[in-house]
Amino acid sequence: MRQIRLLPAAALLFSSAALAADQPSVALDLFKVLGGLIVVLGLMAGSAWLLKRAGLGKAPAGSSIKIVGGVSVGNRERVLVLEIADQWVVVGVAPGRVNAIATLPRQEQPIPEANQPASNNFAAWLKQTIEKRNAS
């Protein structure tokens, strides 16, 4: 059996030809991966859009809990008034914690005046309601 020896120049040409033959398959694989990624991301976006349109991401309309109002008391802290059945529950919400502050009987919601922002009305209402509760 006879071995073929390639000259250095011929070996270089042969190796560059082999690399050139491999390059299209690498590029093709890259385009396949990117195409698959685009398809998956498109399916995720389409699913999110369909869920939003169908209203499946929201609480049901007959939900027993409703947010009456809220006010921010810090960067990441809030005080909320929740309506649960015939009661209002005042809760403090902070990162990782939700604490019940007070429970009140359901009241008529004040109609916001046109010249005051709604957040000032809620703050005044909350202060007045707590003062009434503490007075009795």
**pLDDT tens digits for range 94-114:** 999 999 998 888 877 655 555
Domain limits, the chain: 1-58, 65-135
The amino acid occupying position 116 is: Q
How far is the C-alpha of 9 from the C-alpha of 127, rounded, in Å?
Answer: 90
In this predicted structure, what is the pLDDT of residue 67?
Answer: 85
SS3 96: coil
* Segments in the chain forming alpha helices (H): 8-54, 118-135
From the number of C-beta atoms within 10 Å of its C-beta (0-12, 13-18, 19+), residue 90 rates as buried
In this predicted structure, what is the pLDDT of residue 31?
Answer: 92
DSSP state of 7: P
Q: What is the pTM of this model?
A: 0.40
CA proximity to 94, closest of 71, 123, 74: 74
CA proximity to 66, closest of 82, 88, 86, 87: 82
Q: For residues 83 and 98, is the Cβ–Cβ distance under 8 A?
A: no
pLDDT lower than 70: segments of the chain: 1-24, 56-63, 109-120, 136
How far is the C-alpha of 22 from the C-alpha of 121, rounded, in Å?
Answer: 71
In this predicted structure, what is the pLDDT of residue 93?
Answer: 92
In this structure, the strands spanning 97-105 and 78-84 are unpaired
